[in-house]
Amino acid sequence: MGKQVEETRARRRPRRSFTAAFKAEVVTLVRQGDRTLPTVCREMDLAETAVRRSGKRRWTPATRTG
């Protein structure tokens, strides 16, 4: 079991940083409404959790009504 945990940790990719323009693009794609946040994240190779967590500060589009 310990070996499996070590292998998982070894496969993690390095922490990435994104420009404001890239973040704005992600928000725009979600706001368009034709794709969900999970779909956009898969297409942009982003972790949905990371976008949601940091979205409270930078990424999250305005809440849609209706």
pLDDT digits (tens, 9 = 90+) for 12-57: 778 888 888 888 888 888 888 898 889 999 999 998 887 777 665 5
**Would you say residue 4 lies in a domain?**
no
Residue 66: what pLDDT?
46
Task: Specify if 56 maps to a domain.
Answer: yes
- Look at residue 43 in the predicted model and tell me its pLDDT: 93
Q: What is the pLDDT of residue 4?
A: 61
- 40 is a domain residue: yes
Which sign, positive or negative, has the C-alpha torsion 44, 48, 53, 59? positive
Sign of CA dihedral 3, 7, 38, 46: positive
- Domain residues for the domain of 26 are 18-60
How many domains, the chain?
1
pTM passes above 0.75:
no
Residue 51 lies in a domain: yes
| The pLDDT of residue 59 is above 60 | no
* Contact (CB, 8 A) for 44 and 26: yes
Does any domain span residue 1? no
